[in-house]
Amino acid sequence: MMMTIGSRAFLALMVGVATPALAASPSRAVERLDRGVVATPAKDGGWLVSWRLLRDDPSATRFDVYRDGRKITPQPLADATSFVDREGNDRARYTIRALVGGKAAAPSAPALMAPNGYLSIPLVPPPGGTTPDGDAFTYIANDASVGDLDGDGRYELMLKWDPTNSHDNSQAGYTGNVFVDAYTLDGKRLWRIDLGRNIRAGAHYTQFQVADYDGDGRAEIAMKTADGTVDGTGVTIGDTKADWRSRDGEVPQPDKTGAKVLADGTKVAPLVGRILKGPEYLTVFDGRSGKALATAAYDPPRYPGGNPSFDQMRETWGDGYANRSDRFLAGTAYLDGQHPSMIFGRGYYARTAIAAWDYRGGKLTKRWLFDSAAPGNADYADRGNHQLSIADVDGDGRDEVIYGSMAVDDDGKGLWTVPLFHGDAMHVADLDPLRPGLEKWGVHEQVKTNGGIGSALLDARTGAILWTKPADTDTGRGLAADIDPRHVGAELWGSNSRDLFDVKGNAIGPAPRQTNFALYWDGDLLQELLDGTTISKWNWKTGTASPLLHPTDVASNNGTKSNPALQADILGDWREEVVWRSADNRELRIYVTPYSTRHRLVTLMQDPVYRAGVAWQNTAYNQPPHLGYFPGSLTPSGDPD
């Protein structure tokens, strides 16, 4: 079943939370979630039981907690949706009941128990193999996402497996196949999809989206496929025998990265292992079985009408060896304000093309295509990032696509573009709650052509530059998070400066060394820092970060990006969970907070901007999800609570 929420601002059910003003429009369909009850040992003793507050809960809703069928709350809970049971243990069976107007709802499903601070999902990696040139490889559990695949109100987890020989687009070489699995939170594997040898492995190739695109109450999975992709039921898409991988050859390469330098100094790109020809598809898979439901020709293609030559590729995308053309991004957006559509983009260093797709009534149809190569769109070329964001930035109830230094409106027309060019990280949220609308914080790479700007804060609706900070080289990292209660709004920083800035651009102290992710983990309304396998609390008085969680035997993903498999509000109250893989790739661990709180917020997954962020989080250079409203204090304070 699906529920709907009005497109007016997401209302956090607590006093003093600022919310954006959005125009009225038809209702937006969202997931129907259960209470997501989870229990884990509390930080200060006992067991912490927490559950979701839902968007459609009346403000007067209260809750009782039951252990083994006996009520253990002295009186119904009116504040936080969590409770510390001082007499709890790992054998207890916890449920909760909502009370509205004195009437008790049916008991929730029993809590998922996390006796070690995390839920464990056992994994069986795909078998390793050997490439045609003799390179042996095994598999690493990589990025993940969530969706309700069976319509029961509880999330399932999707996981991408990358081979150990995955490659950046700038590099030649064969790779092993990419696999995508689905698991229940109880640890059962539902299916496995093999994308086949004609989908190359690497951070920029496979971006998978999970959402209920057809409105039947169950999520589907969408991703790029090719000849030889095998769905979750064992059926092959396209030509089973086709092998479109390049066996040899080399072509001129203007870029230094990944180049082979000949004796005379000429730079060339080896072609072995690259996929430069063959059909490309977009496929929607059933969430319950992994069965392919609909497949269409991927748009935009490498080249219109067929397999391109080197010169045709170079003319179309900027090079002839698929470094630029095979950089893909993906997201899920409510372009009509009511139903989710798929967003699949191609290219951002030169030509930029973004397609919107709908899956309705069993049919996959293209909604629109935005192309920087089209007449009038030249200023949108070379503006893209290594990720995108989705948000209703203009307040009309319909989502826009923020693609870096540019945005595309819900109708597929360019909304704004600024000559800041490509960047490695960006964050779209209500970063400054004292000004209307959302903001976009980004760091930038091409300082020699953008006026020496290393980082910038923009108005997300218009693209107007609010302020900038200089750099003389690529600014590869940047983060926005509310970590200092003395300043209203988020704090912003990047690798181009040692300073931490408030939302007005004022330096307020030293910046954290952590610049990857931020999350809500402890009990206050400030965010914590997530970097690698450590969650830390920023001490704004000393300018240092103190670890809150540093689990052993887990690993982060994607090299120096050091991101978790997933960060999302998967279970319990509004605090977020972190999914890491075990170091041996035999387990996924969903870590839950052990901290109590006095704050009461609707589950973050029912905020449209945040939910979109969880969907696109697995895309290319992963970024954390952000809220479309500001939950913190609107007055400066030395107290984070």
Residue range 241-296, pLDDT digits in tens: 999 999 999 999 988 888 999 999 999 999 999 999 999 999 999 999 999 999 99
Integer-rounded Cα radius of gyration of the chain = 24
Tell me the average pLDDT across 25-32: 82
Q: Which two tokens stand for residue 344?
A: 């699949």
12: pLDDT strictly greater than 50? no
342: pLDDT strictly greater than 80? yes
The three-class DSSP label of residue 436 is: coil
Per-residue pLDDT tens over the stretch 483-520: 999 999 999 999 999 999 999 999 999 999 999 999 99
pLDDT-above-70 percentage for the chain: 96
Tell me the average pLDDT across 535-542: 98
Report CA dihedral (513, 514, 516, 519) to the nearest 10 degrees: -150
Between the alpha carbon of residue 541 and those of residues 134, 196, 230, the distances in Å are 55, 53, 55
Rounded Cα distance, 532 and 352, in Å: 31
23: pLDDT strictly greater than 80? no
Residue position matching structure tokens 């693209």:
463
Bridge-partner residues for 103, per DSSP? 100
pTM score of the predicted model: 0.96
Residue, of 607 and 6, whose pLDDT is higher: 607
How much is the mean pLDDT over the chain?
Answer: 95
Q: With cut-offs at 50, 70 and 90, classify the pLDDT of residue 640.
A: confident
Rounded Cα distance, 203 and 582, in Å: 20
Rounded Cα distance, 567 and 625, in Å: 8
Per-residue pLDDT tens over the stretch 375-385: 999 999 999 99
Q: With cut-offs at 50, 70 and 90, classify the pLDDT of residue 16.
A: very low
Q: What is the pLDDT of residue 306?
A: 80
DSSP class of residue 310 equals H
Q: With cut-offs at 50, 70 and 90, classify the pLDDT of residue 357.
A: very high
Per-residue pLDDT tens over the stretch 572-606: 999 999 999 999 999 999 999 999 999 999 999 99
The three-class DSSP label of residue 314 is: helix
Contact (CB, 8 A) for 78 and 62: yes
Tell me the average pLDDT across 468-477: 96
19: pLDDT strictly greater than 70? no
Q: Name the pairing type of β-strands 38-41 and 112-113.
A: parallel
Domain boundaries defined on the chain:
118-616
Q: With cut-offs at 50, 70 and 90, classify the pLDDT of residue 26.
A: low
Per-residue pLDDT tens over the stretch 123-170: 999 999 999 999 999 999 999 999 999 999 999 999 999 999 999 999
Rounded Cα distance, 121 and 56, in Å: 31
Query: Which among 343, 618, 609 has a CA at the least distance from the CA of 460?
Result: 609
